[in-house]
Amino acid sequence: MKDFQLFSPTELEEALDLLTRHCGQMRILAGGTDLLIRMRDGQVQPETVLDLTRISALHFLRQDSNAIEIGPLITHTEVLCSPLLNQETPLLVQACRTIGGWQIRNRGTIGGNLCNASPAGDAVPPLYVLAAECTLASRRGRRVLPIQAFFHGPGQTVLAPDELLVGIQFPSPQPTPLQFFEKIGQRKALAISKVNMAFLGWTDQEGRFQKVRIALGAVAPTVVRAVRTEDYLVGKRPTADVIQAASDMIETEVQPIGDIRSTEQYRREVSGELLRLGLAKCQKEEHG
Amino acid sequence: MKRILQINGRNYALDLPAKTTLLAAIRDYIGLVGTKEGCGTGECGACTVLMDQQPVNACLMLAAQAEGKDILTIEGLSQDGNLDPIQQAFIDTGAVQCGYCIPGMIMTGKGLLLTNPHPSIAQIKEAIAGNLCRCTGYYQIVAAIAKASQAR
Ligand SMILES: Cc1cc2nc3c(=O)[nH]c(=O)nc-3n(C[C@H](O)[C@H](O)[C@H](O)COP(=O)(O)OP(=O)(O)OC[C@H]3O[C@@H](n4cnc5c(N)ncnc54)[C@H](O)[C@@H]3O)c2cc1C
Ligand code: FES
Ligand code: FES
């Protein structure tokens, strides 16, 4: 690895100053579980590195009135251990539980997972269906973007060279809806998703869906919503027939890519299967 | 740049290039070679150490990021010449073959017992999912951690 100059500020303002001063030359380091690998093999060779991990203002998890706010430095393990997120957003907890092994989850951060912009990033689909917003900050000020506007393409975000992701927030999904995260990888642990799916559905008294959001990762250059299948489910109860029809529909709706990890046809079928699996599990939990 | 690392309860003042990983600091600068390098990319867990009691891959963080933290390596486990119960359990269970993965396995197992003194078999398996072993087939390793959890 080429050597570099390292800055480890403790204040956010200082970090933003440094980014402005070294504009374009500086790499941002959080848990390092992605960046250090790319630096090690020479893909990235920065002159200067900004270590965020000592900035306490980026390390928080809180609920304000009806919104939940997550600091970018929150690790996957901290998500798993949060009573608030276990209560409100089990799908985000389920997603973070599938990331890497324990050691990776202890270091890897939510902010790093987003900024990495991998189409297979497992924390991303849950944040899509939760309608999360990202807050970006620079010396020039702050801006808030819906999560789908944060991504440009695979590996690309809209972050300017002098900008940091400083917060992720979403409305608390109450009253607690049906929700799940499912993923298929090469094997159970330490595997990049071939397809992953986040589902959030609000039901009425009779158990009919009033509102549904489904997001899929790894099937396209960025995470996609399955709008047609969402619309189909609205007004229906998740009976075996409805689940079957929705799964068939999502298989035709997704436009997957074929790549080194799997073929297009495989990803289609797995998308249907994940929906079937997730909904069936939710049903079982509901009925004891 | 001068860095102070606290490893196994001792402070080491080291002059390190910024790019030095925690693993390189421990092995090459301090000379504690019990912690192994397998892949260098977070896949194998051979480099696992405890940082503030949490297992981390020492190959995937900068030494500078460990400043001010409490680092425990395999060398820091035994007390006054007595093996830690988890080390003893690995020996008693016959969980060691070539031994390359074992320091990492033991540190992850230790981290698990520190956060959850009585894990289920499923919890043990989940905890060591980031530690690869090419020899044992994991059965004895899981048994060793289970045994260590009963030893206290
Ligand atoms: C063995 C292994 C298994 C893995 N398994 C999975 C998996 O199953 N699922 C999955 O989704 N990922 C997986 N990953 C990838 C990675 O661990 C996660 O994406 C993790 O969340 C990255 O977070 P980090 O803090 O380590 O990121 P870093 O490596 O520190 O940073 C990643 C990128 O984001 C930028 N960045 C970080 N924080 C900010 C910020 N606040 N503002 C602006 N830019 C920022 C960095 O500049 C860098 O480009 C795995 C990695 C390894 C090594
Ligand atoms: S050497 Fe660190 S995980 Fe393999
Ligand atoms: S004992 Fe040889 S790799 Fe585990």
Q: Let me know whether A260 and A229 are in one domain.
A: yes
A2 vs B: CB within 8 A = yes
Domain final residue pick, A171, A193, A222: A171
Sheet with A5-7: strands ordered across: A5-7, A48-51, A26-29
Contact B110, B88 (CB under 8 A): no
For the domain covering B2-74, report its CATH number: 3.10.20.30
Using an 8 Å CB-CB cutoff, list chain B residues near A1: 19
Domain ranges in chain B with CATH number 3.10.20.30: 2-74
Which of B1, B57, B126 minimises the CB distance to A103? B57
| Residues of chain A above pLDDT 90, percent | 79
Asked if residue A126 and residue A72 are part of one domain, the reply reads yes
What is residue A221's predicted lDDT score, i.e. its pLDDT? 85
Identify whether residues A20 and A119 lie together within a single domain.
no
The answer to whether the CB of B137 is under 6 A from ligand 3 is: no
Report pLDDT digits (tens) over A123-161. 999 999 999 999 999 999 999 999 999 999 889 999 999
First and final CA of chain A: distance in angstroms?
Answer: 54
How far apart CA A268 and CA A260 sit, in angstroms, is 16
Taking CB atoms and an 8 Å limit, are A4 and B62 in contact across chains?
Answer: no
Q: Are strands A224-225 and A209-217 parallel, antiparallel or unpaired?
A: antiparallel
A104 CA → ligand 1 middle, Å: 9
pLDDT at A286: 65
- The Å distance, Cα A31 to ligand 1 centre, comes to 7
Percentage of residues in chain A with pLDDT exceeding 70?
Answer: 97
Q: Which residue has the tokens 């924390």?
A: A123
What is the per-residue pLDDT across A85-130, written as a single tens digit (0 to 9) for each?
999 999 999 999 999 999 999 999 999 999 999 989 999 999 999 9
Looking at the structure, tell me whether residues A194 and A230 fall in a common domain.
Answer: yes
Q: How many CB pairs under 8 A join A and B?
A: 83
**Average pLDDT, integer, range A67-85:** 98
pLDDT at A105: 98
- Residues of chain B with Cβ-Cβ distance to A29 below 8 Å are 62, 65
Confidence of residue B152 (pLDDT cuts 50, 70, 90): low
Domain boundary at A171, A188, A212, which? Answer: A171
Question: Coil, strand, or helix at residue B75?
Answer: helix
The pLDDT-based confidence of A190 (bands split at 50, 70, 90) is: low
B21 interface with A at CB cutoff 8 Å: yes
| Cα-to-centroid distance, B102 and ligand 3 (Å) | 7
Query: Cβ contact (<8 Å) for A51 and B48?
Result: no
Q: Answer yes or no: do B129 and A53 touch at CB < 8 A.
A: no
DSSP secondary structure of A25-38: TEEEESS-TTHHHH
- Name chain B contacts of A36, Cβ cutoff 8 Å: 21, 60-62
pTM comes to 0.96
Residue of B nearest to A31 (CA): B61
| Domain count within chain A | 3
CA of B115 from ligand 1 middle (Å) equals 24
CB–CB contact A103 B129 (8 Å) = no
Please indicate, yes or no, whether residues A62 and A29 belong to a single structural domain of this protein.
Answer: no
Residues A39 and A94 in one domain: no
Task: Give the pLDDT confidence score for residue A189 in this predicted structure.
Answer: 62
Mean pLDDT of chain A: 93
Q: Which atom in ligand 3 lies closest to the alpha carbon of residue B98?
A: 2
Token pair in block for residue A258: 């074929």
Whether A90 and A166 map to the same domain: the answer is: yes
Residue-number span of the structural domain to which A143 is assigned: 58-171
Q: Which of A17, A33, A51 is a domain's end point? A: A51
Domain B85-150 CATH class label? mainly alpha
pLDDT tens, A228-286?
999 999 999 999 999 999 999 999 998 887 777 778 888 899 999 999 999 988 777 76
What is the b/e burial string over A231-240, where b = at least 16 CB atoms within 10 angstroms of the residue's CB?
A: ebbeebebee
Q: Pick A64 or B77 by higher pLDDT.
A: B77
CATH number at residue A238: 3.30.390.50
pLDDT higher than 90, residue A172:
yes
Provide CATH 1.10.150.120 ranges for chain B: 85-150
Phi first, then psi, for residue A39 (nearest 5°) are -75, -35
**Any CB–CB contact under 8 A between B57 and chain A?**
yes
Contact: A103, B43; criterion CB under 8 Å? no
Nearest to A102 among B1, B61, B108 (CB): B108
Maximum average pLDDT range among A190-199, A260-269, B135-144: B135-144
